[in-house]
A and B are shown apart, each in its own frame.
Chain A
Amino acid sequence: MSASTVLPSAASAPGRLHRLWDTAPGLYGVLATVDHKIIGKRYLVTALVFLLLGGMEAGALRLQLAQADQHLLTPELYDQLFTMHGMTMIFWYAAPVLSGFSNYLWPLMLGARDMACPRANALSYWTFLMSGVFLYTSVLFGQMPDRGWFAYAPMTEHAFSPGLNMDFYAIGLTFLSISTTVGAINFIVTLFKTRAPGMSLDRLPIFVWGTLTTSFAVVFATPALTAACLLLFLDRRFGTHFYDAAGGGNQLLWQHLFWSFGHPWVYIVVLPAMGIVSDVLPTFCRRPLVGYTFVALATVSTGILGFGVWVHHMFATGLPATALSFFSAASMVITIPSAVAVSAWIATIWHGRPVFRTPMLFALGFIVLFVIGGVSGVATAAVSFDWQLTDTYFVVAHLHYVLIGINVFAVMAGFYYWLPKITGRLLDERMGRWNFWLMFLGFGVGFFPMHTLGLAGMPRRIYTYHAGLGWQSQNLFITIGTGVFALGLLVFVVNCFWSMRHGALAGDNPWDAPTLEWATSSPPPSFNFARIPIVASRHPLWESRLEPHGPRSRIDGPLMDAGRDTFGVSALDAEANEILRMPEDTVWPFVLSLSILVAFYGALAGVWAAFGLGAACVLVAIIGWFWPRDGAEPEGVAA
């Protein structure tokens, strides 16, 4: 490495920066911090807790299905558990875990000192946590949502579901939407405002491209879910007739709204994960990613195309053939950007000198599962094939290949890769290998037979089946395989706890990786970089070897220790054009989230006074948040 990219270590950084940026100790600091690294860690841990909860729910489902004619669970409880499993994994784990990585890593990768809206960042975490608390209160009442994670009307109408179950669903998802939307807006503004000088758009890590695309998708798609849930709640509580055919409504309206959101959401939970792999692979192949521009464009175009395919979830609802053909074709078009990404990954490995450490193993496992899940996806995009397989276990196989293969395996790669940056210690390599092989083999044994079971006609969401149907041995296989998979996850948890104490010290850049987050200490100081980096290429830490005579990035920009300051840059070329004064720690985001929680519990219970109280507190919190301390209005254009 050229000497100029070596960062003055955090220890030698002026104490002034620490005083400016460190979170206060004690309860106040816990509730008031706006440090993106603390928020990112909280996101990661909370999402992992939801992964374990969803995993336990899946475990109960698989025990029930291990043998024919079993009655471990009642049918009602089975319905609740598969619904909670789906909701927990898809909404409270899969996207938030990626937000966790993005929150922690973005400012480090972009060479900034924080996200553009640190307080909104705190709000996004607190609402995520409290929406999860809200959802899981349903366990205490024994009234968990029970109509499946996509909750088709009219099963969800009050007449057919009189309990609180689907009210928890409608309000819980609306609550989470607030978190997701606030987070997405913050990512978009961060990308266009707070980067290091020189971090132009063509130098962003692919992971950043993934989260950016996803954030735009959230802004445009999430309102469909909010609308769907609002109408459902009005139907259930106020006697409206949106999904009620007898009153002139239409139950397919739910499906259109839900999947208008639902399909973009699929890309929301996979594009950043694909980005993780696109950034992990080059490090362990010892060469830059092949086709960077094409992979970035593929990411963005997948995000856009994702808005035009929702009807492929509705092939079996009796829509006109023209609509089916159009959406079938649109769905198949998505294979093009996917194939571009896969080709780029394979070419990177082909032309590289692969080093098979644990993050690399997970990245490779990811590619294999991506291809299999992609092929079963193209299969179900064909209308005739889909008609045969709708609501069978084949679909369960496909969605798990996609969600576990493309999300969980990439997330595991991400943890083994970046956790050393977060904790300062490497994860244990031997446990890592056990972790990978248990998960990979367990996944194959557990989820592949679901394809054949589906082809053999086993429907999804049945709570038991008769011995005479011939599904027993495959179901037993699935239960054992998923059990092995869960064991692999357990090894990961043990590895995390063990390595935090006993792992080898990571140092700044244990993998000899090319990007900016590895240019600061592990863990990074509260202000990320003592001096702001000035970026000159896509691989700031590999410059001396890639282009011996090319331009050099420097980490000797200004100290900027007059206040909580970071650079504001121009949108495309990242030319520094202003100094942004970042906000102090504050409890308002926490108070605001708590107020929303009170309001939503009020709506759930039908106690409108409590709802009103919560709403009034929301108002107070927002005014408190934006009221300037000294009465001075910040200068500048609408931010």
Chain B
Amino acid sequence: MVMVLVIATEAMLFAYLLFSYFYLASSATGKWPPSGRPELTLVIPNTLILLASSGSIWWGERGIRRGSPRRLVLGLCTTLVLGIVFLSIQGIEYAHKPFRLSTDAYSSVFYTITGLHGTHVFVGLLMVAVTLVRALRGHFSASRHLAVSNTAMYWHFVDAVWLVVFTSLYVSPYFT
């Protein structure tokens, strides 16, 4: 229940930031985004990678529920790798953007929202890493795996937020 409430309040944080995005978009005097529609070549595969990482942690959690610590370790490792790949690709995408954080209101809100999401992915990765260490030490069993469930729940949340961020920041400009 604690994790559900933490997720609720974090989800609200993203909701208020996305409100800010659309508010700035609606009050923009010129083109929005000023630099043209965002490129999708990197972000679409990246979204699929993040979705896959949710799948692998789900698979690992189901594994420990059925009493297989090995499947849990495998699932967590996969998620860890996919999460790192996601952040790296996002870094590459940042490097190729034609604007910096301080260029204009659009660049500010773009980097703030995607950056904050990236920070959440990073925190999620730390949770996955700690859970992995504990899994290797044999802390979990079919009846005792609270930390695994909480970590998985947080990871799914970070993933779900990305879908909303992706739709708002990358897809919605193609429909205006």
Contacts and interface: CB of A to CB of B under 8 A. Distances in A.
A67 B8 CA distance: 51
B130 A623 contact: yes
A234 B102 CA distance: 9
A265 to B, nearest CB: 14
Interface string A216-236: 000111111011101100110
A248 B35 CA distance: 13
Interface size, B (range): 35 or more
B24 A249 contact: yes
A120 B139 CA distance: 23
A248 B143 contact: no
A242 interface: yes
Interface string A245-268: 001111011001100100000000
Contact of A189 (B1, B20, B112, B144): B1
B24 A188 contact: no
Nearest to B8: A219
Given A227-B13, A633-B144, A253 B23 contact: yes
A258 to B, nearest CB: 11
B85 interface: no
B104 interface: yes
A247 B20 contact: no
A183 to B, nearest CB: 12
Nearest to A632: B144
A25 interface: no
Interface string A599-639: 00000000000000000000100010010100111111111
A192 interface: yes
B109 A242 contact: yes
A256 B17 CA distance: 12
A577 interface: no
Contacts of B106: 248
A631 B106 CA distance: 48
A117 interface: yes
Contacts of B104: 241, 247-248
Contact of A188 (B5, B138, B153): B5
A249 B112 CA distance: 14
B44 interface: no
A634 B5 contact: no
A235 B104 CA distance: 11
Contacts of A639: 1-2, 146
A187 to B, nearest CB: 10
Interface string A108-140: 000000000100100000000000000000000
Contact of B3 (A257, A260, A619, A638): A638
A316 B145 CA distance: 55
A241 B12 contact: no
A634 B28 CA distance: 52
Interface in B133-167: 134, 137-141, 143-147, 149-150, 153
B126 interface: yes
A252 B10 CA distance: 23
B115 to A, nearest CB: 10
A380 interface: no
Interface string B10-43: 1011011101100110011110001000000000
Contacts, number: 127
A320 to B, nearest CB: 12
A637 B153 CA distance: 12
A637 B149 contact: yes
Nearest to A181: B9
Contact of A224 (B10, B12, B126): B12
B81 interface: no
B62 to A, nearest CB: 15
B6 to A, nearest CB: 7
B168 interface: no
B134 to A, nearest CB: 8
A240 interface: yes
B126 A242 contact: no
B139 A628 contact: yes
A89 interface: no
B16 A636 contact: no
Given A189-B1, A638-B146, A248 B102 contact: no
A238 interface: yes
A404 interface: no
A172 B137 CA distance: 40
A404 to B, nearest CB: 30
B2 A189 contact: yes
A235 B20 CA distance: 14
Contacts of B20: 227, 231, 242, 253, 257
A253 B108 contact: no
B112 to A, nearest CB: 6
Nearest to A628: B139
Given A239-B102, A242-B105, A637-B149, A223 B144 contact: no
Contacts of B12: 219-221, 223-224
A185 interface: yes
A319 B43 CA distance: 37
Contacts of A231: 20, 112
A73 to B, nearest CB: 36
A631 B134 CA distance: 8
B57 to A, nearest CB: 14
A253 B2 contact: no
Contact of A240 (B3, B34, B112, B146): B112
Contacts of B149: 637-638
A120 B104 CA distance: 40
Contact of B108 (A222, A234, A637): A234
A195 interface: no
Contacts of A623: 130
Contacts of A619: 126
B147 to A, nearest CB: 6
A222 B5 CA distance: 13
B101 interface: yes
Nearest to B28: A248
A240 B2 contact: no
Nearest to A242: B108
A567 to B, nearest CB: 16
A227 B108 CA distance: 13
Among A219, A222, A256, A634, the most chain B Cβ lie within 10 Å of the Cβ of A219
Given A189-B1, A240-B105, A256-B23, 13 more contacts: A222-B9, A227-B16, A238-B101, A240-B107, A240-B112, A241-B102, A242-B109, A244-B105, A248-B28, A250-B27, A256-B19, A633-B139, A639-B146
Question: Lowest 3 A-B CB distances belong to which pairs?
Answer: A240-B108, A239-B102, A248-B105
9 contacts: A189-B5, A193-B1, A238-B102, A242-B105, A257-B20, A623-B130, A633-B134, A636-B146, A638-B150
Interface of B: 1-6, 8-10, 12-13, 15-17, 19-20, 23-24, 27-30, 34, 101-102, 104-109, 112, 126, 130, 134, 137-141, 143-147, 149-150, 153
Interface of A: 117, 120, 181, 185, 188-189, 192-193, 219-224, 226-228, 230-231, 234-235, 238-242, 244, 247-250, 252-253, 256-257, 260, 619, 623, 626, 628, 631-639
